[in-house]
Structure 1
Amino acid sequence: MSDKDVLVSMGFDPARIEWALRATKNSGLQPAMDFLLEHSDDPIPDPSAQAQAAPSSVTGGDAPMDEDDEEDAAALRAVYGTGAGAAVAAAADVEAKSIKCSQCGKIFKNTSLANYHAEKSGHDQFEESTEEIKPLTEEEKKQKLAELRSKMAEKRSVKSKEEAKEQQANEALRRKAGRDMGAAKEDLQAKQAMKDAEAKRREKIEDAKARAAIKAQIEADKRERAEKAAREKALREGKSLPESSASSSTPAAAARPGGGAAATTAGKDFKETRLQIRLASGGQPYTTTLSSDATLREVAEFLAGQVLSVDVETVSFAQHFPRKQFSHADFSKTLRDLGLTPSAVLIAS
């Protein structure tokens, strides 16, 4: 069985085997196997380019050195030093059958294998030798084949471990990125929840203030109606007005929105006014908070920005309790002057 058949039976690519045999000058199974292991991951070069780059060989053979052998010997002396040149000159009349590395003692069949050994080991001292390289026996071929398979298996195992380690590192990075993203998302959700809770708390406070103001308004209106009824009864019966009626008329008037100087004074305590605007045609109410110095026209402009069917120039506002209708002349007045602070409900039509 030829060296090529042995390598094919081992599962190597035929083209890669041809490359190895060309590179080692068909010098045997061991050099070809070493070459395949060394260049297992390298691309196969163009055969024509490899032929141009291949170094000249010094052949042993059975015949004495001719002119070509002399040229190869001179080239060997130029590359590997004067030691090899002296050995060649001394043994010019002796049949050279191999090339020996003076540093490690290994013997090579030709200069191509010697060059290959020099590249791998860094040795640079060679000499010609009369020692003949015997071909491998079948037992040696099997042993070399087993060694080659062992080396290939070891190389694949190392590569597999490196790939597994790299995959594990990538997985760790991916998990860390996922954890960081999850933590950022949870933090954002927590901040949003706190923001929503604070907004609800403020809204509850504003609603409580509005309910308190409406309740105070209702009590003031009740007192005013009771005093008015008492005055009317006293007038019908020809009696004098009760002192409490005269003295309490001013606070009652002050309790009404727009009910005089007292209302204006009380309204000065509120810098903002919370408004709830409802459409007479129905639908959802619109809530906003404006400065107490804002005019009623600004309220109309806010509503026009929310509802396309509302026109600032034609819209009108009214209060159901206490019942009051605002005219366009009131559009230039502030919410404080109109007695709408700190909160009010307006009906837009």
Structure 2
Amino acid sequence: MPSDLDTLIEFGFEREKAELAIKQTGGLQEAIDWLDKNSEKTVAQLKEEQASAVEEPPALKPGEEAKSLQCDDCGKQFRSVAQAEFHASKSGHENFSESTEEIKPLTEEEKAQKLELMKQRLAEKRAAQAEQEKIDRKKNEQIRLKATKESQDIKEELQKKERIKEAQAKKREKQEEADARKRVLAKLEADKQERKLKAEQEKAKRAGTAVPEKKEVAGSTSSGPTTSKPASAYTEARLALQTPTGRVMKTFPVETTLFEVAHALQQDGIEVETFTQNFPRKVFDKTDFGMTLKEAGMVPSAALVVK
């Protein structure tokens, strides 16, 4: 015949919890009641409660006459005074009275029904826990996806700002190059007109006719005040230097040599092999570094690529 412990284990209860129930109550019927009452608690919680309890309710002694005591506060019945006292210590209930009603032991069928009911409750509890875990996993996944999206949005915003910054830098560089081309074209036109005037003046002198006067180059002057000055009037040159590490703006005296400019960049950690001017296209290598900025035609300003 199977023991009470085997019967509880057969109906799906954990061995440790079933052992605690038998130890706590002393019989199958009481163990079933105890397991029903503590179905929501884990083995660890039950052990902790057992360790902290002042005393355990003593089981019925051999030959002890069964008594029926009733808790007037909750209506629960007990077989012995010891069990009623234990109930009072745990629940705080104080009102008890004797009952003529005898607590009848459960039949085997009733025991099986009660065990089956507890088994169903256990299954329902586990199903509810599994459903809650599923909900928690879904929430955690939503939180993770939201955090990932926010991180991606921040990354895209930074990339967008970086692209705007690069576009603005390229626009400034193109504008500076366009301005440099205009200045060079104006200078070339002025030189052309100067040579033409000089040739006409020499021709007039030889012919003994009136010497033509100097004409203003179209676009070089205006009827109003002007701030433009010939290159010889400048004492400094402003250089826009495109280096491997970024764009650098520097100002030097017009008599500064390219060697001195390279040395200044070297102090910033930039090694220089050549200076390249895009318009007009010209490359200044180390053999040209003895030239001054004025001699290289970089006054009042120039845009150079440093390699």
Q: Report if TM-score (shorter chain) is over 0.5.
A: yes
**Residue aligning to 1:302:** 264
**Residue aligning to 2:105:** 135
Query: Could you give the per-residue CA deviations for residues 195-229 of structure 1, whole angstroms, max 9, x where no partner exists?
Result: 11111111111011011111112112222333344
Deviation of 1:116 after TM superposition, in Å, equals: 5.8
Deviation of 1:128 after TM superposition, in Å, equals: 4.4
**Residue aligning to 2:36:** 34
**Residue aligning to 2:126:** 156
Any conservation in 1 of the 2:77–2:103 contact (CA below 8 Å)? yes
2:214 corresponds, among 222, 236, 248, to: 248
Any conservation in 2 of the 1:273–1:343 contact (CA below 8 Å)? yes
> Which amino acid in structure 2 is aligned with residue 218 of structure 1?
L
Deviation of 1:190 after TM superposition, in Å, equals: 1.7
Measured in 1, the distance between the counterparts of 2:304 and 2:76 equals 107
> Which has the larger helix fraction?
1
Measured in 2, the distance between the counterparts of 1:5 and 1:119 equals 30
2:25 paired with 1:24 = yes
Deviation of 1:22 after TM superposition, in Å, equals: 0.8
Query: Could you give the per-residue CA deviations for residues 217-259 of structure 1, whole angstroms, max 9, x where no partner exists?
Result: 2112222333344455566xx4447522xx43999xx99xxxx
Q: Structure 1 residues 52 and 218, CA, compared in 2 at 3 Å: closer, same or farther?
A: closer
**Residue aligning to 2:75:** 105
TM-score, normalised by the number of residues in structure 2? 0.69
**Residue aligning to 2:194:** 224
Any conservation in 1 of the 2:88–2:94 contact (CA below 8 Å)? yes
Query: Could you give the per-residue CA deviations for residues 127-152 of structure 1, whole angstroms, max 9, x where no partner exists?
Result: 34454332211110121012101221
> Which amino acid in structure 1 is aligned with residue 137 of structure 2?
Q
2:16 paired with 1:15 = yes
Measured in 2, the distance between the counterparts of 1:346 and 1:101 equals 99
Deviation of 1:335 after TM superposition, in Å, equals: 6.3
Q: Give 3-state SS (helix, strand or coil) of 1:343's partner.
A: strand
Measured in 1, the distance between the counterparts of 2:125 and 2:5 equals 22
Q: Give 3-state SS (helix, strand or coil) of 1:299's partner.
A: helix
Deviation of 1:31 after TM superposition, in Å, equals: 2.3
Structure 1 residue runs of 5 or longer lacking an equivalent are 64-94, 256-260, 278-283, 311-319
**Residue aligning to 1:273:** 238
Superposed CA RMSD: 4.6
Query: Could you give the per-residue CA deviations for residues 58-88 of structure 1, whole angstroms, max 9, x where no partner exists?
Result: 747655xxxxxxxxxxxxxxxxxxxxxxxxx
**Residue aligning to 1:68:** none
Deviation of 1:21 after TM superposition, in Å, equals: 0.9
Measured in 2, the distance between the counterparts of 1:60 and 1:346 equals 104
The ranges of structure 1 where at least 4 consecutive aligned residues each deviate by more than 6 angstroms after the TM superposition are 325-328, 344-348
> Which amino acid in structure 2 is aligned with residue 342 of structure 1?
S
Percent identity for Structure 1 against Structure 2: 32
Query: Could you give the per-residue CA deviations for residues 151-177 of structure 1, whole angstroms, max 9, x where no partner exists?
Result: 212222332333233223222222221
Measured in 2, the distance between the counterparts of 1:342 and 1:203 equals 13
TM-score, normalised by the number of residues in structure 1? 0.62
> Which amino acid in structure 2 is aligned with residue 10 of structure 1?
F
**Number of residue pairs aligned between Structure 1 and Structure 2:** 282
> Which amino acid in structure 2 is aligned with residue 169 of structure 1?
K
Deviation of 1:340 after TM superposition, in Å, equals: 0.8
Measured in 1, the distance between the counterparts of 2:214 and 2:305 equals 28
Q: Structure 1 residues 56 and 146, CA, compared in 2 at 3 Å: closer, same or farther?
A: closer
1:343 corresponds, among 279, 302, 306, to: 302
Deviation of 1:272 after TM superposition, in Å, equals: 6.8
